[in-house]
Amino acid sequence: MSGRDGAAGRLRVAVAAPLSEENRARVQELEPRIDLAVDASLLPPMRWPADFAGDPDWQRTPHQQRAYEAAIDSADALYGIPDVNPAALARAVRANPRLRWVHTMAAGGGSQVKAAGLNAEELHRVHFTTSAGVHGRPLAEFAVFGVLAGAKDLPRLNRQQRDHEWSGRWTMGQVNQQTVLVLGLGGIGRVVAAALHALGATVIGTSRRDDCFPGVPGVSAVVHPDRITEVAPTVDAVVNTLPGTEATEHLLGERFFNALRPGASLVNVGRGSVVDETALTDALDSGRVGFAALDVFETEPLPADSPLWDHDRVLVSPHTAALDTAEDRLIAELFAANATRLLDGQGLINRVNTVEFY
């Protein structure tokens, strides 16, 4: 698709998700050929950075809802999935035949596109992109934090401090002597791999693509996801950065945990569905997994009766590791860069695979 699709090589964009005045100005500075259709009064107030769903208690009046949908239905592109709601996305695609591009705020926006239930023609007509890569550095920091916490036996330190126990000295794990398996070498996984390599760790990555390695900085070897059980006995920590798809669901399950080197750490900054939490709980109880730092879960919020809440070798983070004050600006800049590519007839960054939806 090129600029010929818009009037005089311009792109009409409906702002369907909260976008600050500063970031609106940034988008138009970076790509002056964008015409932004935005009415801040039609968008929910944000409670924190990147809160694109906004305050759940906020509601549009019927008149406001009609105005919101009218803007969406006259646009060539959408900044955000309307109300972060797959049903609203489906309505927008079907009501607006001129719509050609939707940018999702999430790195894993493919799951939202899948949930919209669009047909093959609709998926072909509209390009979908995600904000993958924007969250790489914050998530890499959390991943490094989790690997370090496991190596230094944070649960034991917490327990001894709580009990006022001054134990004898013990040898802590050294990340520079460890092998870490990083699941996924996309935008997040590559930053994680580079950060761990900088600490001296040996990094094994996974990829479904045969041409992924060599060329990934900090990665010493790459295996297909189907072979992770083969390398499990050799690793000291596992970091998941994979999206939630049918192919990745419960990839880390009983078979993998049974093969894992006893006492290994697990960090999850990808999607909760990749980890079978029942199998993980069993592996934690048996000591097969020595520590788990989890930012994502199969069900969110994490149910009150989940055994993960009270497990002394689990760190629960409420899906907040990616949040960064710069996130809104970085997403706006990514959107502007993709708008330029679209108007110039180039391929879009972070296109959603509409077969596996990642």
Active site residues: 271, 300, 319
For residue 44, report the phi and psi dihedrals to the nearest 5 degrees.
Answer: -65, 145
- Rounded to whole angstroms, how far apart are CA atoms 290 and 285? 9
Angle, helices 21-30/327-343, rounded to nearest 10 degrees: 30
Here the tokens at position 236 are: 């000291």
Residue with tokens 């311009």, as numbered in its chain: 10
Token output for 1: 């698709």
With helix as H, strand as E and coil as C, how does the chain read? CCHHHCHHHCEEEEECCCCCHHHHHHHHHHCCCEEEECCHHHCCCCCCCCCCCCCCCCCCCHHHHHHHHHHHCCCCEEECCHHHCHHHHHHHHHHCCCCCEEECCCCCCHHHHHHCCCCHHHHHHCEEECCCCCCHHHHHHHHHHHHHHHHCCHHHHHHHHHCCCCCCCCCCCCHHHCEEEEECCCHHHHHHHHHHHHCCCEEEEECCCCCCCCCCCCCCEEECHHHHHHHHHHCCEEEECCCCCCCCCCCECHHHHHHCCCCEEEEECCCHHHECHHHHHHHHHHCCEEEEEECCCCCCCCCCCCCCCCCCCEEECCCCCCCCCCHHHHHHHHHHHHHHHHHCCCCCCCECCCCCCC
Cβ pair 265, 146 in contact under 8 A: yes
